[in-house]
Chain A
Amino acid sequence: LIDDTVQVHVDEFYQDCVQWWRGNRFGPEKRKLFEMQENMMSQIVKKGNRTVVKPRGDIVASTAEVFSEKLRSLVEEGIKELIIDLSAVDMVDSCGLRALLTTYHDLCKAGGKLSVTHVSKDIYDLFKAMQLDQHFPVSRS
């Protein structure tokens, strides 16, 4: 059923985070934070030029930094078309908004594009209110 060209990196996100803090970039408190990030593991599916990232939990203060850093590493890898699927997310706070905007900013500089899909009604309204939709496409489906 799964196309050969599809690489599914389940749990890769968390592993990357573990690797990342082992690199001593953070103190013990941050490391502990990352250990508690298991809920934030994202599923990453690459197909051709498109990369779909599907976070499994809320993008909020406690998780946004890890999320943001993972997306940055994807951009550095050279991906050009990034789709963030929010179907499993029911809360995004100001840190989450900033993570998305920063990713958008990084992608733009690298000549790529970002879109956000499967956004709940509440989060869609938030994105509109905070004018994220003026930067990149946001869709309910």
Chain B
Amino acid sequence: MFEVTHTLTGLSISFSATLDNIDRADEEAKSFLHRTGIRAEAFSVRLAMREGLLNAVEHASRSCSDKKVVCRLQLENNCLIMEIEDEGEGFDWRASFNKNLPLITQRGRGLAIMRRYCTDVEFNETGNRVVLRKKIGSRKIVARQISRTGDQTFVRPGEKGLVASVAQQYRLQLQSLVEEGTRDLVIDLAGVEMIDTAGLSLLVEASDSLRKAGGKLTVMNASKDIFEFLKIMRMDHHIAIARDYDEDSG
């Protein structure tokens, strides 16, 4: 069993306690970190999460095989909170907390790694639940807003527009949205005053990769200038484009 839910600033995974599922959870975390623009701390977060999950899987699967592990990531202000809980009986984390690094062939580096790579590590009394906190520095998100309504995902680029200087970053972001399973993507150009050829090729690429995945791209709220430009560039052959003005008044 492996279930995953992505939200705007969070990730929730619930899975049977096996080692392979840790790899799958790590893949989900990778995509979450990418999507939320966490770059510098990505390795630390993934490593600490892996150690927390490994701990949980080992302790949960000790008694029987069909136990579950639940892992939640939530981004709050400048802090990523990772909450990992298993259905096992826990362990004596206090004893491990005070130990030095283990001898060469011994086990027990997981806790040391979690403490080293997180701002804060907090176990519950029995040791079957741990909360890891990691301070996050700057995040690199370009789109001012990504939101979801039903099956539709809206991306609002904001004033800077779809121009060469930001196109590559948008490309990564749109790619990750498609990889995450977005099929109905809407680019809301409200407030966007400029789009250049880099922006155009970005739209074509996004539309192609969505179509390959069985999805579609829509552009809405294009200003008069941008709408006309998109038409001249024959973008309406690739993408459904909606204007933000009435034809008569325009």
Contacts and interface: CB of A to CB of B under 8 A. Distances in A.
Interface in A88-114: 91, 93-95, 97-98, 101-102, 104-105
Interface stretch (B108-116, B125-133, B160-168, B203-211): B108-116
A131 interface: yes
Given A105-B105, A130-B101, A130-B109, A91 B50 contact: yes
Interface string A122-141: 10001001110001000000
Contact of B51 (A62, A94, A122): A94
Contacts of A62: 19-20, 22-23
B47 A135 contact: no
B41 to A, nearest CB: 11
Contact of B105 (A33, A95, A98, A122): A98
B54 A94 contact: yes
A122 B57 CA distance: 25
Contacts of B23: 58, 60, 62
B94 interface: no
Contacts of A8: none
Contact of B46 (A61, A91, A95, A98): A91
Given A33-B19, A94-B110, A105 B104 contact: yes
Contacts of A130: 101, 109, 112-113
A36 interface: yes
A33 B20 contact: yes
B105 A101 contact: yes
B43 interface: yes
B234 interface: no
A39 B48 CA distance: 23
B26 interface: yes
Interface in A44-73: 58, 60-62
A131 B101 contact: yes
Contacts of A93: 47, 50-51, 54, 110, 113
Interface of A: 33, 36, 58, 60-62, 91, 93-95, 97-98, 101-102, 104-105, 122, 126, 129-131, 135
Interface of B: 19-20, 22-23, 26, 43, 46-47, 50-51, 54, 57, 101, 104-107, 109-110, 112-113, 116
Given A93-B50, A98-B106, 10 more contacts: A33-B20, A62-B20, A91-B50, A93-B47, A93-B54, A93-B110, A93-B113, A95-B54, A101-B104, A126-B47
